[in-house]
Structure 1
Amino acid sequence: MACRVSELVLSCREPETLARFWCEVLDFVVLDREDDGSLEIGPRDGFGGPQPTIILSRRDEPEPGKSRLHIDVNATDRDQDAELERLLKLGARRADIGQTGDEGWHVLADPEGNEFCLLKRRLGPL
């Protein structure tokens, strides 16, 4: 028996802002709202499916320093260039972590500066 990733937790100042961004990026919906402003977003079929949910945990001051974990995403219905354009329009911005420009992925940051990568390979939708 093995474990499975069920949730990712991201500390942030503006859960609603990040929820809008990540719901658009991943075609997720808000599944739950907590009294402290934290949110859980995930696939329309909810918690426990093939994809983990994301908890956007409200913190006035998220953990200092660079996160040691980042999210990689793949386009499902368009090529990488078209998906990059879509993500930038949603509020992502390019992030420079010392790439050479020859990589097969793009390093981006969400509206709060959390880095994530857009990979080249296209995946089929779930």
Structure 2
Amino acid sequence: MACRIGELVLGCREPEVLARFWCEVLDFVVLGREDDGSIEIGPREGFGGPQPTLFLSARDEPEPGKSRLHIDVNATDRDQDAELERLLAIGARPADIGQKSDSSWHVLMDPEGNEFCLLRARIPQL
């Protein structure tokens, strides 16, 4: 039997801000809150379903150096241009990491500056 990803952990200064942002991006809900301010968000069916949850771990300071993990997202019910417009409207910002202008993806940052990519391919809703 192989492993599968159960949750992704992202250290952040303001878990509430990122929870609102990522819930809107992914159509997730808050699944739980910890005493230290950390928040777990995920699909409505909760932990253990086909999608991993996102655990926003409260940190006073960001980890030193650039994060080696980032999230790629795909639109499920609209084309890439419409999804880009939606993401920018809810707080994403464009990021320039040296990508080519004709790349099939957009590099963005969430409200705390964590990079993520909006890919072109559309994934059907489950």
Same fold (TM over 0.5): yes
Summarize the alignment of residues 1-126 of structure 1 with structure 2, pairs less than 5 Å apart: 1-126=1-126
Q: How many percent identity over aligned positions?
A: 82
User: Could you tell me how far apart the structure 2 residues matched to 1:73 and 1:94 are?
Assistant: 14
Q: Which runs of 5+ in 2 are unaligned?
A: none
| Distance in 1 between residues matched to 2:30 and 2:62, nearest whole Å | 21
Structure 1 gaps, min length 5 = none
Q: Tell me by how many angstroms 1:20 deviates.
A: 0.1
CA displacement, residues 72-107 of structure 1 (integer Å, 9 cap, x when unaligned): 000000000000000000100000000111110000
Q: 1:37 is paired with a residue of what secondary structure?
A: coil
**Root-mean-square deviation (Å):** 0.5
Q: How many residues align?
A: 126
Please report the TM-score for the alignment, with normalisation by the length of structure 1: 0.99
TM-score (normalizing by structure 2): 0.99
Q: Secondary structure at the residue paired with 1:73?
A: strand
Deviates more, 1:64-73 or 1:11-20: 64-73
Q: Distance in 1 between matches of 2:106 and 2:30?
A: 27
**Poorly superposed stretches of 4+, deviation over 3 Å:** none
Q: Which amino acid aligns with 1:89?
A: A
